[in-house]
Amino acid sequence: MGEPARKIDIIDARPDFTQEDADALNARFEGVHASDMLKTLFEEGNLGEVAVVSSFGTESAVLLDLVAKADPSIPVTFVDTLRMFPETLEYRETLIKTLGIQNANVVKPDPVVLAAKDGNELRWSFDPDGCCEIRKVEPLARAKAKLNSWISGRKAFQSATRQNLPRFEVEDGRLKINPLGDWVKEDLDAYFEEHDLPRHPLEAQGYLSVGCAPCTSKVKPGEDPRAGRWRGWDKTECGIHEDVTPLPSADEDENSANDPIF
């Protein structure tokens, strides 16, 4: 008998998720409450390696509570830029304990990179994009390298740059989930009240969106919640979020491209 055919090793370079997958999920979970959506996704187990990325900011408790109630073992990743408010670090500990988060982890900037590119810790004052890159974007990229999907706390109402935010997007082949994408501030406030969630200690002082201490200021009446971030700079995001991929229109969906995949 001849020898069996040799199997050829093939590297599967296909992305974990495609835009078609995201479109299908957006259609499947349209109108479904975020809590039910998360519970279903976790139970079905089709997300691969998944984690929540949380800033532990003024609105973070809502998403973290929803995730913890659905599955408290889901990892929660926090990027400590080493320039955070002490109140944020304390708030993180409070939420971990209060919500029963079982798998909280921290990622930090590379000390070698910091020494080379921000030795005097003043890069934020003349190059905020570069500062975000080494203190937040690169550390988070390391944390996401092992993930197939991740959960974000972005919401469309927070600023004009986040309008038309879908619940599901695809970035670099990973599924990005925005469970609160269609929530408004009134929804968040009602959830805080109903579930008696602790508030970020800086919120009462006028900090409606909290990031690194040097680049965060109080929000003035009538401004959008993120107006206090990088005030005076033509900058609205730290860099971990790409441009929004809007939901498809009804005409674009007429060929059943959004049929559920799972």
Q: How far is the C-alpha of 31 from the C-alpha of 27, rounded, in Å?
A: 9
CB 77 within 8 A of CB 107: yes
User: Quick one: 92 exposed, middle or buried, by C-beta within 10 A (0-12, 13-18, 19+)?
Assistant: buried
* 131 in a known ligand binding site: yes
Q: How far is the C-alpha of 248 from the C-alpha of 74, rounded, in Å?
A: 30
Burial readout 9-38 (b: 16 or more C-beta within 10 A, e: otherwise): eeeeeeebbeeebbbbbbbbbeeeebeebb
**Which residues fall within 8 angstroms of residue 58, CB to CB, at 6 or more apart?**
199, 200, 202, 203, 207, 208, 209, 210, 225
* 215 in a known ligand binding site: yes
> Which residues are the active-site residues?
238
CA angle 250, 180, 64 (to 5 degrees): 155
Q: Which residues are annotated as a binding site for [4Fe-4S] cluster?
A: 131-132, 212, 215
Q: Which residues are annotated as a binding site?
A: 131-132, 212, 215
